Amino acid sequence: MKKILIIRLSSLGDIVLTQSAVQAIRDEYPQAQIHYLTKKEYAPIIEMFNCVDQIHYWEKKRSLLIQLRKIRFDLTIDLHSKFNTLIIKCAVNAKKTITYKKQHWLRLKIVKKLTNRTISSTVELYFSVLRKLQIEAKVFAPRLYLSGSFELPEPSSKLTEKKMIGLFPGALHNTKQYPIQKFAEFIDSVPAEWNCEFVIFGSDKEKQIADQLEFITKTKLIDLCGQLDLIKLINVISKLDVVITNDSGPMHIAAALSRPQIAIFCSTHPKLGFKPLNKNAITLSSDISCQPCSLHGNKACPLKHYNCMKEITPSQILDSLEYILF
């Protein structure tokens, strides 16, 4: 293969999870030109794959498709499998096109409680394209490779003697977000002698969540919500002693950086294939009968009880943190 186009348009965590499949393709075709098509905001992630030659942005779509067609790709690999990517594949008109096996119907059956089957990892699904290419490759965890160094912004740079605990309290959907009150109870229960400092991360949209957490906790927090671009955020995560997240994109970034982490699953569940692939990860889930209730989370609990959140206690997070630190 001389020219290969890989397509994954979004989202943050899903793109991180494609790294190992892309690396396996690079290992099989070391001399190939590997191109990756995604949205512009995710380009820093692809740059950290350390195995992609050129990144194309999913914008100015008509001129982009003309440009991609002129490259005359030998192979297009669709790791997204959406209507948009179908259009892209047709327009690119590569000599060969392969689409990964998404297992959408199996995931729906899992949510509807119509099967006892589970999905071990989305990464394994991405590797289905390798089998279609007759490539024998063992599934391995995604990795992100940092270039250069980045100093933590003030006042975090003064915390070198403390254990830095990064907390991502937000999530795209409400039912994936562990209650702020419980996060506050956990933070306030951490013994002073553990010498921990908590740094809150998130986007501008999640600033309100950070403000609420700062208001109700008795512990002084460092709020970096909305202050870091994606490159700086990834560099900061790489320096944290522990990362605590909901089921979200930062969870997969922490895993790809092999950081010790605690991943909290509320309305979703690891059985859908999105658990962090990280030997340094602890995954917390209530494992109740109605879980998962959706593929990606909802605005509200369908049964109105939110037990998937309530049954994960602050003491469980504290015990997990103690296990990691000591």
What residue ranges define each of the domains in the chain, with the CATH number in brackets?
Answer: 3-132 (3.40.50.2000), 156-325 (3.40.50.2000)
Burial code (b: 16+ CB inside 10 Å, e: under 16) for 194-223 equals eebbbbbbbeeebbebbeebbeebebebbb
Q: Where are the alpha helices (DSSP H) in the chain?
A: 12-17, 19-28, 43-47, 61-71, 83-92, 104-111, 122-126, 128-132, 180-189, 207-216, 230-237, 249-256, 307-310, 314-325
Q: Cα separation of 206 and 172, whole Å?
A: 10
Residue 296, CA distances (Å) to 11, 54, 65, 239, 292 in order = 12, 30, 30, 29, 9
> Where do we find the tokens 């009150």?
181
Residue 173: which H helix or E strand, with range?
none
**Is the separation of the CB atoms in 45 and 16 below 8 Å?**
yes
pLDDT score of 156: 47
pLDDT score of 159: 46
pLDDT more than 70, % of the chain: 96
Q: Cα separation of 5 and 1, whole Å?
A: 11
Q: Mind listing the pLDDT tens digit for each residue in 41-76?
A: 999 999 999 999 999 999 999 999 999 999 999 999
Q: Cα separation of 289 and 93, whole Å?
A: 46
Q: For 35-39, 153-157, 266-270, which range has the lowest pLDDT when averaged over its residues?
A: 153-157
> Which of the two residues, 155 and 103, has the higher pLDDT score?
103
Take residue 316 and report the two structure tokens written for it.
């469980």
Take residue 318 and report the two structure tokens written for it.
């504290």
pLDDT score of 172: 83
Q: Mind listing the pLDDT tens digit for each residue in 1-12?
A: 799 999 999 999
Please name the amino acid found at residue 38: T
Average pLDDT over residues 118-126: 96
